[in-house]
């Protein structure tokens, strides 16, 4: 009886308690059917509220629909609530250009999330049938690809509750024996035997070799997985502190900006996990396509003496380095800033989220400039309205206090302004084309006359609110 192994394992990891609401992911195959039967056998003892959730991926025509009907009939027979759906994986695969397995997984988890969030129970559970052989496959495949080898977690947060995997202590052989003993007749998916999929090829060719030399490899690797995940949890907690101090996250467009000056002072293991946290935020989920090779590319760029570099990552993610900043962004910066005009009493909201305000102030004394974000000159010394535009080839300005002119290009280089935002940095001119202000950066030389009215220009940057 698998209960003798599963129940102590579940207790050790606090997977469920008396009165738990448990959704059980059931495909109709041996693993998930055995999982459904296991929970059915203990539901009265543990007073469990059970619901089976099943998905037809529309990948095997009538067969996958028959799987859904089979699970529904089993639930009726065992008096278990049932929620099922059909998902158009082929259409989603074509739309997103994802692989079959990845598209099916994404849609399936979206459905599970919807079901969980509709639950009226606090912290509902979603039980999945992954077993010890799956754990071995996963850890070796991740090592082979150069991604994190931590393995499948026994328990993890999901949709306001938890995903639990009580069968990670069992082998596939033990589950098959359980099905035979209990008279279960699961449905079989022939695609699970196709070597076209990497996991299946590993399962058919590599796993038998490993188990021949160590039949208890699943137990050993489960212990290793748990230790690695405990260590990772601590390191990620420390890395989160670094992220909070050195990274600015933005939503629209979704991007992350790293202050390398302070980030570089952190230990390399925490830097590595900080990058994982950044990538998880940007991709909205752990991104399996990001490998150790990608991380090493980031480190190479970060440590390089080259002040400007760009990396191209999966799903069109760009990683720009500019001096002491590292920007992760899915959107290439716009090529220029469309010119806009404003008069005193008006404001302009620029595409980069900045605001430029112009004010007329009537008084005899010159108003103070309270920061680099304010520019003041007499109203009579400029020709209105003002124009706000991007830099142009050959732009020069007379810098206040410099007693001479300087190219805008050279100012950007001297001030270490990231290359990817130079074309959208606002240049404020009057109607004659005279550059008054490289907003928030350098102020132009303007000869003030005796005046009773003054012009004040204020810039508000979106990342300083």
In terms of CATH, what superfamily is 340-464?
Phenylalanyl-trna Synthetase, Chain B, domain 3 (3.50.40.10)
More confident residue, 350 or 76: 76
Q: How far apart are CA 446 and CA 354, in angstroms?
A: 24
Cβ–Cβ < 8 Å for 116, 126: yes
Q: Do domains 235-329 and 340-464 have the same CATH topology?
A: no
Q: For domain 235-329, give the CATH number.
A: 3.30.465.60
**CA dist list (Å): 433 to 350, 373, 394:** 19, 21, 13
Average confidence score pLDDT of the chain: 89
Q: How does DSSP assign 199-252, residue by residue?
A: HHHIIIIIHHHHHHH-TTHHHHHHHHHHHHHHHHHHHHHHHHHHHHHHEEEETT
* Residue range 168-197: mean pLDDT, rounded: 85
Whole-structure pTM value: 0.65
Q: What gap in Å lies between CA 211 and CA 30, rounded to an integer?
A: 20
Cβ distance 102 to 286 under 8 Å? no
- Of the candidate CATH numbers 3.30.870.10, 3.40.50.620, 1.10.3720.10, 3.40.50.300, the domain formed by 3-215 belongs to 3.40.50.620
The rounded distance, in Å, linking the Cα atoms of 208 and 30 is 19
SS3 for 333-357, per residue? Answer: CCCCCCCEEECCCCEEECCCCCEEE
Higher pLDDT, 71 or 207: 71
Query: Tens of pLDDT along 374-410?
Result: 999 999 999 999 999 999 888 999 999 888 899 999 9
pLDDT in tens, 94-145: 887 777 888 899 999 999 999 999 998 989 999 999 999 999 999 988 888 7
Handedness of CA 291, 293, 298, 303 (dihedral sign): positive
Q: Could you count the other beta carbons within 10 Å of the beta carbon of residue 234?
A: 10
Q: Do residues 150 and 228 lie in contact, with contact meaning Cβ atoms separated by under 8 Å?
A: yes
Would you kindly state where each structural domain of the chain is located, as residue ranges?
3-215, 235-329, 340-464
Q: Tell me: pLDDT of 146 over 80.
A: no
CA-to-CA distance for 248 and 244, rounded, in angstroms? 8
335 pLDDT band (50/70/90 cuts)?
low
pLDDT at 465 over 50: no
- Greater confidence (280 vs 420) lies with 280
């Amino acid at each position: 009886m698998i209960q003798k192994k599963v129940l102590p394992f579940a207790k050790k990891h606090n997977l469920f308690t008396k009165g738990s609401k448990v959704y059980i992911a059931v495909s109709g195959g041996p693993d998930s059917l055995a999982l459904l039967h296991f929970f059915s056998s203990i539901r009265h003892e543990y007073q469990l509220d059970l619901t089976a959730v099943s998905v037809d991926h529309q990948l095997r025509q009538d067969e996958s629909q028959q799987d859904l009907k089979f699970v529904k009939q089993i639930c009726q027979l065992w008096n278990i609530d049932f929620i099922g759906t059909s998902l158009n994986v082929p259409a989603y695969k074509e739309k997103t250009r994802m692989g079959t397995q990845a598209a099916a997984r994404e849609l399936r988890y979206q459905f599970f999330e919807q079901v969980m969030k509709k639950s009226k129970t606090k912290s509902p559970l979603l039980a999945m049938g992954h077993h010890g052989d799956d754990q071995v496959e996963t850890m070796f495949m991740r090592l082979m690809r150069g991604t994190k080898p931590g393995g499948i977690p026994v328990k993890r947060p999901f949709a306001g509750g938890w995903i639990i995997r009580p069968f990670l202590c069992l082998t596939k052989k033990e589950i098959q024996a359980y099905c035979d003993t209990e008279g279960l007749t699961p449905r079989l998916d022939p695609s699970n035997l196709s070597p076209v999929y990497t996991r299946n090829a590993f399962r058919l060719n590599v796993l038998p070799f490993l188990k021949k030399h160590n039949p208890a490899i699943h137990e050993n690797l489960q212990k290793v997985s748990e230790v690695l995940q405990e260590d990772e949890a601590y390191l990620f907690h420390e890395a989160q502190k670094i992220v909070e101090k050195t990274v600015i996250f933005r939503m629209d467009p979704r991007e992350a900006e790293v202050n390398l000056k302070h980030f570089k002072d952190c230990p390399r293991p925490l830097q590595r996990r900080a990058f994982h946290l950044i990538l998880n935020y940007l991709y909205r989920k752990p991104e399996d396509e990001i490998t150790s090779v990608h991380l090493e590319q980031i480190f190479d760029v970060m440590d390089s003496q080259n002040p400007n570099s760009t990396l191209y990552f999966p799903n069109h993610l760009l990683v720009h380095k500019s001096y002491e900043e590292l920007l992760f962004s899915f959107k290439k910066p716009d090529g220029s800033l469309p010119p806009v005009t404003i008069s005193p009493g008006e404001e302009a909201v620029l595409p980069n989220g900045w605001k430029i305000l112009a004010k007329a102030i009537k008084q005899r004394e010159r108003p103070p400039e309270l920061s680099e974000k304010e520019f003041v000159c007499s109203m009579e010394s400029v020709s209105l309205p003002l124009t706000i535009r991007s830099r142009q080839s050959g732009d020069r300005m007379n810098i206040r206090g410099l007693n001479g002119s300087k190219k805008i290009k050279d100012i950007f280089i001297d001030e270490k302004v990231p290359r990817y935002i130079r074309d959208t940095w606002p240049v404020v001119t009057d109607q004659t084309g005279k550059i008054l202000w490289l907003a928030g950066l350098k102020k132009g030389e303007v000869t003030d006359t005796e005046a009773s009215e003054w012009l004040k220009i204020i810039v508000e940057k979106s990342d300083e609110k």
